[in-house]
Amino acid sequence: MRFKTFAAAAALTLAAGFAFATESTPGAKEYFINLKDGQHVKSPVLIQFGLSGMGIAPAGSTNPGTGHHHLIIDGDLPPAGVPIPMDMAHMHFGRGQTEISVPLTPGAHVLELALADGAHILHMPPVVSDP
């Protein structure tokens, strides 16, 4: 009897932990529409964000199956459950924008797109582009 009580408590804790991450739609993809890996570009660079399998909604929205784009330039993705930082390396498009023209310094840069929910947290599993 004592074992059963412990197992129930553990299951509840596990469920609560997953409640913080918004589920993504299976097969959803985030990608660059107009850029290829290794492409040479001129600054400022127009970057178009592609998304399939899910929808765009502004920051703050809790609609299932939606999120807003983030462009990460020479930065890292945050770990699961942590909001994407708001700094020079992490741009948020919380009004639902799907492109931007950004100035880039000469040299190599790593760009990555990430969809996140209304609270700026990556979905589970994450919907991110290839860097």
The alpha-helical segments, DSSP class H, found in the chain are 2-18
Query: From CA 32, how far away is CA 36, in angstroms rounded?
Result: 8
- Select 29 or 92, whichever has its Cβ closest to Cu ion: 92
Residue 29 sits in the site that holds Cu ion (CB under 5 A): no
Residue 123 sits in the site that holds Cu ion (CB under 5 A): no
21, 50, 73, 92: which one contacts Cu ion (CB under 5 A)? 92
What mask, x for binding Cu ion by CB under 5 A, covers residues 43 to 72? ------------------------------
Residue 96 sits in the site that holds Cu ion (CB under 5 A): no
Q: Which stretch binds Cu ion (CB under 5 A): 5-13, 32-40, 85-93, 103-111?
A: 85-93
Report the Cα 54 to chain-centroid distance in Å: 12
- Select 32 or 115, whichever has its Cβ closest to Cu ion: 115
Q: What is the binding site for Cu ion (CB under 5 A)?
A: 92, 120
